[in-house]
Structure 1
């Protein structure tokens, strides 16, 4: 009996030892009780979970390491990642109970309410990503206690107040993105001095004010972006920003900055997009020159002083006067020049009189006003006759034009834009009709018949997605094109916003699809069904106009031909009309401003081809699609990295990055559109193929886009 008792005790002791051993190896169920409670508290704060992302979070499953979106290490919860899960609710402070929590990623959900201060007591937190939600209120001062924080993303929320000074205590921060909120006030003191580990800083689209701190020049670890654009910063640009690494993209656009742009270090050779929207900034690379400062006499010693130039210090006359021989030579040269000019004037006078008499004989019904031109330049009589044609009224191109030149000149005119090929006016006529008038300016070597032929061909192009040319005016001194006025601005402003529009909101996907389809149909019509099967040659968002219902209109088509007529060049904008002697587009940049803003949308072969082709337009259209999908400007991508927008998207896909890294963050809020967005992205990349032979026709593009839901 005693022996059995000892055996039973031995078995019990062995069981206890085994139990203690198991507990030491697998402490998870006991240790996770508090963590389970914290996670279930988070789940209870979620009102809607349409995708069932938290379905596995329940009290019966006591091991949260198996729950969706939860990651554990050594039996501790270290990460919660539920991005784009359509969660509606709030964020509880109980997450601070997760002592080992390092990463939170709740990007692009529908979380709202205040940021709980308790959340910022999770001392191990290294990454907090809450962008693309609806959080409001201020950032708690407790953020300064997150000494291990490296990634802090709160972009695209409704947060306000000032940026807390305590954030400067987060000295390990590598990425700080507070863009697209309502933060105001000045940047806290020591911001640039303490956060020297920052690799990316984005504070754009807020209401931050005050001056730009000089210590931002200490952010020597930046490798990506310093974006302070679309705020209310004032004062001058600190020269210390030139100390930043030259490889980063500095964006100071659309603030209230003033003074000259420092030309040192990282601020040199920046494009104008980094500084636009600051009316009081001056100097390179902007076209607004700085006012010349008063220059001292010592800077220009060759200029005369206020004293007499012929007096020396002792009052005697200077000995630097010209010699007699030099004076005689100058006089003889002047006499010969005057004689030569007189002979030339007499020759021109005789030819002018002769030409006028011929004109009166052959065309007695012509206008009695003589042309103010000299006929001694070797032109034949047919050219003289053609150039003497003068137009004194509008020439309508359809029956809807019920106004004349006088009505147009009496209307209220406002400058809408200016480019290398003329000024565009918005003209409101007395009868309430509004037209857009493009003034091509003075001069030009083309004859009236050439101009008339080209303009009337453009006027015959009629399509719901192409701006209609209604009338024109021609004279030797003035050329006007009168179009329908399109009321809703251009696509570039619709994608990226206009500094004068305080209520800017990104385009929803349905509107973007509408624009994609409309532009494709208009371009396909130009290529396939227009009288000359035109090539646009300069397609870009700024010349895609939007109507009151956001319907797109292609504008500026055919202007390239007229611009080249102005400079005496052969047309390069209609298929089959290129001249073998024509200059390449690259060489035309220097004298044809139509190319100056087109480089980001030009096909790769544009640098070596003699003429544009329909495949050029397809490539440009592909870049516009990528801009619509990504929300990124091609110029901004080029300034940020060493690649264009097309290559940037291609590399992102080759590296198998998430679609979220490519598309506009606002589109992430429409997850049900993911398939359509992916399909449109494939069309865009097909259009932007390097080899033009691999690009689809616009007709096939229209067919592909028709499959997308509007």
Structure 2
């Protein structure tokens, strides 16, 4: 009787908990302005059953809500933190790319949060200094692209587990506080209004993390000027020197201005030169400087013509419309997103065609000749599953790569954001088509770039674009030779592989591991958390393959819940789906010696069919212990998707 009562009380407690969480979510929903009705199925029943979510945007674990992923859903209003306090297992919030407004939500009331993603909304005002006090579990905080102002909250420096902090694209002022966290992997405060010296603890960060703040100085930017002497005598002499310097500078400026006016008048008398246009949309959005790019109409201007030649786009394809950097800079521009390497922009040319311009700042250690030779090498590649490089632009500090614009966007969007876009999920035949196309593209890269250890090196769903026919197009391939080594180790997918985390090396099978993770992502619909980690702190427990093995290892048979439910609901081919899943796991084998090579993987993938016709499939795989490991599962997944 006592055992029966125990079980009964547990069920009652579980039911009560689910009901309480449902009430909290419904209260939260009522505070939102959901004009697009994105949360239509938040109405009745339990939001979670085990690890399965019944409500859109809800992330579940063991029957409780541990995350909300409500990105790109057109939500407005202010976030009601008090209603979310009724979710005791809540660990991650992602409300990116909505229209939430008002001040910074009081998220410190949710002290157990590990990840908070509020980027690209309309939050504004100052953030109180103590806004993050007591959030000792917080690892990732993204507030980019809002309208926050005032000082950066000092309580951020007291978060012991902080790994990522993104504050770029706001209006923060004052100095950067001293961050003492030794495990801080990513900090981005670019495009604010900050000034003063950069704290020494941040000197090893990438310089692009501080760009767009004219008042900042110190490593990794230019050194700060020396402070004035403390004594009155030295202070007086310093003031005198500054005054004299200012007078001399003013005189020189006036002389230069007169000379400039004279030169402009002379130039207006001729028709052999063209006046440089004002900053364009792309220049403003990308903060890109031409540094003297001038087009000349006369071949006699040899020195100026040579200078202009240095700022021309270099085309690697002859079958594309020719344009120059000036055409791109004058074009209307749209920010497509910011990824590991930098930002991507869609530039609409006057001819009507659209190009994508990717801006790289992690190639500044590459010499001009080396860079040009490698770009020409990539430009010679021709394959239906590769997005071709069209042109490039070289400058010491940064590089531009130009390619065709693909309207459909990336595979990551189709896998993880189709609900928000109101589009149906990819069915099984389409996902199989994508996997086969990716495999063919990788095979071609392996054949054409045999000298590269990892011919792709950065394979992930956001780097697979889908053509109008949903044929996959690989992008960002072959970049390892031109990316600074320290940046490559921090950012590129190849350096998240088990062999690099364990032995600090990548191999010819590293791209196979990336392909395996991609296959699992396509079949499960889950985003691989380890690809989102900056630096080299990943672990097996963050691996999507580990989650699949864990779920499979807890069941006598492979559970159907492993597969994306929307794909599974429209397919009667679980045998073939399972076959591809097992191929993905063999690609993710941590021991490189046991991992299949690319040729074997592609051969196995080609054998997978759209429909089941092998009745003995399950029995033929019975007892495979190599894919049923009992390793643990990470309790946190970063759900923001870089472009």
| Fold conserved between structures, TM > 0.5 | yes
Contact 1:527 1:535 in 2 (8 A): yes
Out of 530, 539, 558, the position equivalent to 2:459 is 539
Residues 443 and 496 of structure 1, relative CA distance in 2, 3 Å threshold: closer
Per-residue deviation at 1:430? Answer: 3.1
**Counterpart-to-counterpart distance in 2, 1:286 and 1:536:** 28
Q: Provide the residue aligned with 1:269 in structure 2.
A: 138
| Equivalence map 1:36-75=2 (5 Å) | none
Out of 488, 494, 497, the position equivalent to 1:603 is 497
| Equivalence map 1:293-692=2 (5 Å) | 322=231, 367-369=302-304, 391=310, 393-405=312-324, 407-408=327-328, 411-419=331-339, 421-440=341-360, 444=364, 446-474=366-394, 479-497=399-417, 502-530=421-449, 532=451, 535-564=455-484, 588=486, 592=487, 594-598=488-492, 602-607=496-501, 609=503, 611-635=505-529, 643-656=542-555, 658-692=558-592
Q: Provide the residue aligned with 2:211 in structure 1.
A: none
**Counterpart-to-counterpart distance in 2, 1:398 and 1:162:** 51
* Unaligned stretches of 5+ residues in structure 2: 27-36, 157-164, 176-228, 243-299, 534-539, 611-643
**Counterpart-to-counterpart distance in 1, 2:329 and 2:118:** 40
Residues 175 and 201 of structure 1, relative CA distance in 2, 3 Å threshold: farther
SS for the counterpart of 1:425 is strand
Q: Does 2:48 align with 1:200?
A: no
Per-residue deviation at 1:687? Answer: 0.7
Q: Provide the residue aligned with 2:594 in structure 1.
A: 694
Contact 2:145 2:168 in 1 (8 A): no
Q: Provide the residue aligned with 2:251 in structure 1.
A: none
**Counterpart-to-counterpart distance in 1, 2:235 and 2:334:** 56
SS for the counterpart of 2:85 is helix
**Counterpart-to-counterpart distance in 2, 1:523 and 1:411:** 34
Residues 478 and 678 of structure 1, relative CA distance in 2, 3 Å threshold: closer
Residues 368 and 706 of structure 1, relative CA distance in 2, 3 Å threshold: same
Number of residue pairs matched? 448
* Unaligned stretches of 5+ residues in structure 1: 1-73, 75-99, 104-122, 130-138, 144-156, 183-196, 296-319, 335-364, 372-387, 565-584
Q: Provide the residue aligned with 1:44 in structure 2.
A: none
**Counterpart-to-counterpart distance in 1, 2:38 and 2:360:** 46
Contact 2:328 2:349 in 1 (8 A): yes
Contact 1:394 1:471 in 2 (8 A): yes
**Counterpart-to-counterpart distance in 2, 1:430 and 1:202:** 45
Contact 1:158 1:181 in 2 (8 A): no
Per-residue deviation at 1:417? Answer: 3.5
Residues 596 and 236 of structure 1, relative CA distance in 2, 3 Å threshold: farther
**Counterpart-to-counterpart distance in 1, 2:433 and 2:237:** 76
**Counterpart-to-counterpart distance in 2, 1:410 and 1:202:** 43
Per-residue deviation at 1:290? Answer: 6.5
Q: Provide the residue aligned with 1:179 in structure 2.
A: 55
Residues 293 and 232 of structure 1, relative CA distance in 2, 3 Å threshold: closer
Q: Deviation per CA, 1:548-592, whole angstroms, max 9, x where unpaired?
A: 12111111123332233xxxxxxxxxxxxxxxxxxxx6xx1xxx2
Contact 1:177 1:201 in 2 (8 A): no
Residues 389 and 611 of structure 1, relative CA distance in 2, 3 Å threshold: farther
SS for the counterpart of 2:391 is strand
**Counterpart-to-counterpart distance in 2, 1:484 and 1:175:** 40
Per-residue deviation at 1:328? Answer: 11
Q: Which entry has the higher C-alpha Rg, 1 or 2?
A: 1
Contact 1:491 1:545 in 2 (8 A): yes
Per-residue deviation at 1:267? Answer: 7.3
**Counterpart-to-counterpart distance in 2, 1:484 and 1:329:** 59
Residues 708 and 236 of structure 1, relative CA distance in 2, 3 Å threshold: farther
Contact 2:449 2:455 in 1 (8 A): no
User: RMSD value over aligned CA atoms?
Assistant: 5.3
Contact 1:601 1:623 in 2 (8 A): no
Q: Deviation per CA, 1:29-70, whole angstroms, max 9, x where unpaired?
A: xxxxxxxxxxxxxxxxxxxxxxxxxxxxxxxxxxxxxxxxxx
Q: Provide the residue aligned with 1:708 in structure 2.
A: 608
SS for the counterpart of 2:424 is coil
**Counterpart-to-counterpart distance in 1, 2:431 and 2:356:** 25
Per-residue deviation at 1:516? Answer: 0.9
Q: What TM-score do the two structures reach when normalised by structure 1?
A: 0.51
Contact 2:440 2:602 in 1 (8 A): yes
Q: What TM-score do the two structures reach when normalised by structure 2?
A: 0.56
Contact 2:144 2:170 in 1 (8 A): no
Contact 1:390 1:474 in 2 (8 A): no
**Counterpart-to-counterpart distance in 2, 1:369 and 1:680:** 59
Q: Provide the residue aligned with 1:134 in structure 2.
A: none
Q: Does 2:85 align with 1:217?
A: yes
Residues 446 and 707 of structure 1, relative CA distance in 2, 3 Å threshold: closer
| Equivalence map 1:208-247=2 (5 Å) | 211-214=79-82, 216-217=84-85, 219-220=87-88, 222=89, 239=106, 242-245=109-112
**Counterpart-to-counterpart distance in 2, 1:637 and 1:396:** 32
Contact 2:496 2:530 in 1 (8 A): no
**Counterpart-to-counterpart distance in 1, 2:501 and 2:14:** 51
**Counterpart-to-counterpart distance in 2, 1:403 and 1:271:** 43
Residues 232 and 695 of structure 1, relative CA distance in 2, 3 Å threshold: same
Per-residue deviation at 1:617? Answer: 1.0
* Structure 1 stretch displaced more, 407-416 or 503-512: 407-416
